[in-house]
Amino acid sequence: MASIKIKSALVSVYNKENLTPIITKLAAMGVTFYSTGGTQKFINDLGFGVVPVEDVTNYPSIFGGRVKTLHPKIFGGILYRRDNESDKKEAIQYEIPSIDLIIVDLYPFEETVAAGGSQEDIIEKIDIGGISLIRAAAKNYKDTLIISSREQYLDFENLLDLKNGETELLDRKTYAAKAFDTSSHYDSAIFNYFNQEEQIPVLKQSIRQAKTLRYGENPHQKGTFYGDIEALFETLSGKELSYNNLVDVDATVQLIDEFEDERKAGKSTFCIIKHTNACGVATADTTHEAYITALACDPVSAFGGVIITNTTIDLATAQELQKLFFEVLIAPDYDDNALSLLKEKKNRILLKRKKVTFAKKQIKSLLNGIIEQDKDLKMETEDDLKVVTKKTPSYSEIKALIFANKIVKHTKSNTIVIALENKLLVSGVGQTSRVDALKQAIEKAANFGFDLKGSSMASDAFFPFPDCVEIAHKAGITAVLQPGGSIKDQDSINYCDENNVAMVTTGIRHFLH
């Protein structure tokens, strides 16, 4: 039976917005309505008759509305196979009505959790009857059509107009697939709510929003972003974000958030990212000064980069930014004249960041599975620094070490970061040895004419040998931060003591792979 004329419909919805046109069209087609409670009243108020579910089942809504549709006569009407002789005989024997269409909108479980509802409210928003109706109708898609969410109302209304109340098998199968998406998404949300405490080692993720990207990392790769980018940013100008843009944007956001205390103190920070690694970071009293200082770290790598700040972009800063080719600029706000200037280059992506709390877990596809971990939320303060050398770092050196360590945390391992107070000088990133990372940083400093005398150095992991501190000392570095924990820590400490270099350990490693 490919084509079916809708003759009867069970309507049970929580949110009735945009439902009126559908009910009106179905009524005009002579469809018989079955319903309960608020939905029944809604249809009656529109002036149309409804067969109460209680009249079919001979049972009232019981247990405070927890049980309304859960009855063999209702589910039989949905599930019985119209082309099966045995099923048809039983339907007649038990006076089971045929139900061709199910329209359901589930209790708002996710919304109730997000709004901070009480546990009692949240539990009562776990839909039982609705989810059962959805699954039953989707299973029997050969005979029934399931509309499982109010997001499908407009599409279904168009289908009614197009086919005058008839549905094809492909229509019903398509809506069945959407129904199982609805039910699986709903159940995943419920499971993840309960699993906050239970911590069952199971990963369930259901992300509805999907955006096809121009391509993946390279033009020959397809790419899709699953998530709600509009919840994070308002796009003010420019083309759509690419796969690589998104990866770099994530890196910039994670890094800038380390400087929240500085923002609260009235200072501005700028971070410039290239291929997920920082090539310029600076904190200053003004947005303009922070940008100029950050750009000076590495104006070559900044070309084509992603830039972020934690304060409003003013005209003076925009005039400087206008001189540089970059892919993306992110800020919490823009002065009107600054935004007008920056918009002159049409392909440049300008984003206004919204206040959003990120998940505390990270997942990544790998081999034939997925790995999950807690997000690295630790960032050391001055109280976490343990001086292990005879020389204690100065106030300025401590500030520089903490500043460098924030960048280390968000830079590919192996990494070495060399900084002054509130300013990145150079870094060595993604090297197979820490010595190579340090040499890379020193060579880069020489190429840019940076004097490393009096600078401070942070490492993402311990030094197994004293070679790094020796190289650093000879380059003019006077203070070092490292996690510690090597069985040969003392060798590095001894070298520092012999050469008047300060060293602190944190006990925390910040690998980033």
List the CATH number of the domain containing 31: 3.40.50.1380
pLDDT of residue 177 exceeding 80, the answer is yes
Instruction: Please indicate, yes or no, if residue 65 is contained in any of the structural domains.
Output: yes
SS3 assignment, position 429: coil
Neighbouring C-beta atoms of residue 113, cutoff 10 Å: 17
Looking at the fold, whether 128 and 22 belong to one and the same domain comes out as yes
Q: Is residue 217 part of a domain?
A: no
pTM of the model: 0.87
Whether the predicted pLDDT of 160 surpasses 80: yes
Is 1's pLDDT higher than 60? no
- In a domain? residue 210: no
**Is 207 domain-assigned?**
no
- 429: nearest Cα among 308, 300, 278, 255: 278
Is the predicted pLDDT of residue 69 greater than 90, yes or no?
no
418: nearest Cα among 436, 396, 400: 400
For 324-466, strand residue ranges (E) read 328-331, 349-353, 361-366, 369-374, 386-387, 416-420, 423-428, 456-459
Is 360 catalytic? The answer is: no
Catalytic residue, from 7, 25, 139, 211: name it: 139
Residues 108 and 168 in one domain: yes
Whether residues 119 and 244 fall in one domain: no
Predicted confidence at residue 250, as pLDDT, reads: 96
Same domain, 125 and 193: yes
- DSSP string for residues in 66-79: TBSS-SHHHHHHHH
One domain for residues 132 and 273: no
Pick the catalytic residue from 275, 343, 352, 439: 275
- 312 belongs to a structural domain: yes
Query: 186 is in which domain, residue-wise?
Result: 4-198
- Closest residue by Cα to residue 125 from 153, 105, 148, 150: 105
Residue 338, classed as helix, strand or coil, is helix
- Strand partners of residue 350: 237, 329
What CATH number corresponds to the domain at position 423?
Answer: 3.40.140.20
Residue that wins the pLDDT comparison between 256 and 2: 256
Residue 400 falls inside a structural domain? yes
| 362 within a domain of the structure (yes/no) | no
- Looking at the fold, whether 12 and 141 belong to one and the same domain comes out as yes
| Residue 170, H or E segment | helix 169-198
Q: How many domains does the chain have?
A: 3
Instruction: Say whether both 323 and 402 belong to one domain.
Output: no
Half-sphere exposure (Cβ direction) of 266: Cα atoms closer than 13 Å: 1
3-state SS, residue 386: strand
> Same domain, yes or no, for 23 and 142?
yes
Do 185 and 42 fall into the same domain? Answer: yes
Q: Report the mean per-residue pLDDT for the chain.
A: 95
The verdict on 419 and 481 lying in the same domain is: yes
Query: For residue range 280-326, what is the model confidence (pLDDT) as tens digits?
Result: 999 999 999 999 999 999 999 999 999 999 999 999 999 999 999 99
Question: Do residues 73 and 97 touch, judged by C-beta distance below 8 A?
Answer: yes
142 given a catalytic annotation: no
Same domain? 386 vs 451? yes
Residue 343 has what pLDDT? 96
Residue 107 host element (H or E): none
Residues 317-369 pLDDT 10s: 999 999 999 999 999 999 999 999 999 999 899 999 999 888 888 999 999 99
Q: How do residues 406-458 score in pLDDT, each as one tens digit?
A: 999 999 999 999 999 999 999 999 999 999 999 999 999 999 999 999 999 99
| Cα dihedral sign, 82-85-88-90 | negative
C-alpha dist (Å) from residue 371 to 184, 250, 276, 363: 22, 19, 20, 6
Phi and psi angles of residue 98, each rounded to the nearest 5 degrees, phi first: -80, 130
Q: Are 441 and 428 in contact (CB under 8 A)?
A: yes
Whether residue 403 is contained in a domain is answered as yes
* Residue 37 pLDDT greater than 80, yes or no: yes
The pairing of beta strand 32-35 with beta strand 51-52? parallel
- Find the mean pLDDT for residues 374-378: 95
105 and 191 share a domain? yes
